[in-house]
Amino acid sequence: MEMELAIPAPGAAARLGSPAMKRDPDGELVVRIARGDRAAFEALYRRYVRSVYALALRRLGDPQSAEDAAQEAFAAVWRSARTYRPERGAAAPWLYSIARNAAVDRLRARMPLATVPESPDEGPGPENRAEHEWLRWRVHRALEELPVTEREVLALAYWGERSQSEIASELGIPLGTVKTRTRSGLARLAGLLEQEEEVR
């Protein structure tokens, strides 16, 4: 499904002129990792492992290769945290590029050289694909930040194909609570996506 998105793609904020840099908790973790802080590495890992794996899985299409690429991406984060410069931007795009490179490297390693497609790709262009990939990354990352109760309701509504009445019945909570959690979950998600734009 293609749809018009109101959320800027990577680099768009810089082109539009970002507001003053705000606090970036991910960036603070990367700075600590650069000093060899294992706890910071574990915290960053837990925040991002699912997004990194999801990106690799979409690129590679194979769970085992995606798992290996995710491992490689986090190994690269550990090795290259010292190269991260907070003044150049938030940590999320930096991590995204590392994850994408790990997946691309693995893809290249298994592709024969100089393969030429027999027919032109009629799918969305590279810019659109990159925009969607970036959005998926940010949404999956933001979902990790939602309270469990809100995430559970959103997951059932959006991917479990349940009506709100069915969700209420399955979770054993009033319909009004489902509606409240849905709305507050969407509001929190919107806030997280906006907040991430502001720190970039």
Distance CA 26, CA 173 (A): 35
Q: Does 92 bind another protein (CB under 8 A)?
A: no
| Closest residue by Cα to residue 139 from 64, 24, 31, 50 | 50
Q: Which is nearer to another protein, 21 or 197 (CB)?
A: 197
Region from 82-90, 96-104, 109-117, 155-163 binding another protein, contact rule CB under 8 A: 155-163
Binding of another protein at residue 57 (CB under 8 A)? yes
Contact range with another protein by CB under 8 A, out of 22-30, 84-92, 103-111, 140-148: 140-148
Cβ-proximal residues to 103 (8 Å cutoff; 6+ apart), any chain: 55, 56, 59, 60, 66, 69, 73
Q: According to the binding rule CB under 8 A, does residue 13 interact with another protein?
A: no
Sequential DSSP letters for 117-138: -SS---S--HHHHHHHHHHHHH
With CB under 8 A as the contact rule, the residue among 12, 28, 45, 104 that binds another protein is: 45
68 binds another protein (CB under 8 A): yes
> Which residue among 28, 86, 151, 195 contacts another protein (CB under 8 A)?
151
Rounded distance between C-alpha atoms, residue 180 and residue 164, angstroms: 11
